[in-house]
Structure 1
Amino acid sequence: MWFSRWRKRKPPPFDFSTLPWAEPPEEADAREEGVMLAEYSSRMVLKNRILVSVLGEGVDFDVDSFLPDARDALAALAAEMRGAAERVAQESAAAASLHGNPQDMHDYRSKDLVNLGLRERVNLAVATELEQRAADDEYLRTFITAARDDAWDDVAGAIGVRLDLERPQSAVDSNYLRTRAERMRMVRNVDLARLEIEKLDY
């Protein structure tokens, strides 16, 4: 039957040439985005260190006392970026003599050399920028202040949630003022400790 013959027809293979060409990102834009993401990641590390020191260890906050921590956070990520650049360079060397279609997304071929080269240069540029910032005390102080503000936002949010939960009971609790100090101690020792554990897994 004509219906049976129609059902047996196979669709033609997909023509990949019909897909729109994706322009590679501009190198300057890729560097800028890489630095921005790396700085944010380092700031989160420093924010967690500030939370541990101030809330967990009872240390008074002082910008200069966190200079080593800020420097270490940036330097560690810079080393990570340099390691990534070295791995990309090795992948480029291996791909240079390989042709044809890749077997998976990590199977690089000679036609991938342009993009691999871009990745290597961007990683090196981000690493260099982080190293320069790690050596700039004026920048580090601004960086530490931003991390402190992030930490305070987390603390304020945790306290706000806790107080919202307590408000209905507190309004009718005649012992509220007497127990307020104990409530705040619980916020600090329990809620903020839990918050810090969660943030360390960021």
Structure 2
Amino acid sequence: MRWPNWFRKRAATPRVRPFDEDALTETAPPTLEQSVEEGMLLADYATRMAVKNHIVVDTIQQGNPFEPSRHTKQAAEMLEELADEQDQAAERAAEARRAVTGLLGDAMHPHDYRDVDVANLRLREEAAHALADALRARASSESELLSIVERARADAWHEVGQAIEASLDAFSGAEALKANYEEERPGRLRLLIARDLAKLEEERGGY
């Protein structure tokens, strides 16, 4: 005999506690030093990637020998460009800070600043100025530029090496499927040396 549904015990509905915004832990705002340090890390990465691409084009595509002095100028120009961007960011923060000082009320969107945002806008302004100064100092340091170029060279070599390995793996995988792969392998190597490497040497000699 089956009991009617209204005799069955209902599952207890879990009680959800109302959201209490005051219970949230307030996150401490970043310090000036932390803001500058984070900005320098991002700038270093962007500069290194730009120099890495410059090295690949200059040495691989154009066939020039690797010479660090050929790339320190590229690094310096990138750092100066990033410093200019920080000067512009500082000016925008300063304009916003002056405009909202004393402005009360609730913000209507994330970029609708009010008087309560003045301290944060001042931090952005100071951090941008400090970051611009640090970037220009690095751009004028020969040792810093050479360090960037060396790390970019390592990145470029790693990237090119991975591309070569992938190409060789794909080629060897396709060739290994052939039944006479082992028999033809010595002849293919001789052909590679006699034809492809000679052609490569001739092309490189034209630069």
The TM-score with structure 2 as length reference comes to 0.76
Quote how far apart the aligned CAs of 1:179 are. 3.8
* Secondary structure in structure 1 of the residue aligned to 2:27: coil
Which consecutive unaligned segments of at least 5 residues does structure 1 have? 1-10, 187-202
Q: Residue by residue, what CA displacement relative to the aligned partner does 1:7-61 show, whole Å, maximum 9, x if unpaired?
A: xxxx9x9653333211101221221111111111111111111111111211111
Quote how far apart the aligned CAs of 1:149 are. 0.8
Aligned to 2:78: 73
Aligned to 1:91: 96
Alignment pair present for 1:176 and 2:188: yes
2:68 corresponds, among 63, 72, 90, to 63
Q: Residue by residue, what CA displacement relative to the aligned partner does 1:77-118 show, whole Å, maximum 9, x if unpaired?
A: 111111111111111112213211111111111101111111
1:38 corresponds, among 37, 43, 51, to 43
2:111 corresponds, among 106, 109, 114, to 106
The TM-score with structure 1 as length reference comes to 0.78
Higher share of residues assigned helix? 1
1:132 corresponds, among 137, 149, 155, to 137
Q: Find the aligned partners of 2:173 and 2:146 in 1 and give their Cα distance.
A: 42
Q: Find the aligned partners of 2:125 and 2:27 in 1 and give their Cα distance.
A: 20
Asked if 2 retains the 8 angstrom alpha-carbon contact of 1:86 and 1:120, the reply is yes
Quote how far apart the aligned CAs of 1:141 are. 1.0
Q: Find the aligned partners of 1:147 and 1:84 in 2 and give their Cα distance.
A: 27
Map 1:144-155 onto structure 2 (within 5 A): 144-155=149-160
Quote how far apart the aligned CAs of 1:62 are. 0.2
CA RMSD of the aligned region, Å?
2.4
* Secondary structure in structure 1 of the residue aligned to 2:103: coil
Aligned to 1:141: 146
Q: Residue by residue, what CA displacement relative to the aligned partner does 1:134-160 show, whole Å, maximum 9, x if unpaired?
A: 101121111111111111111111111
Aligned to 2:120: 115
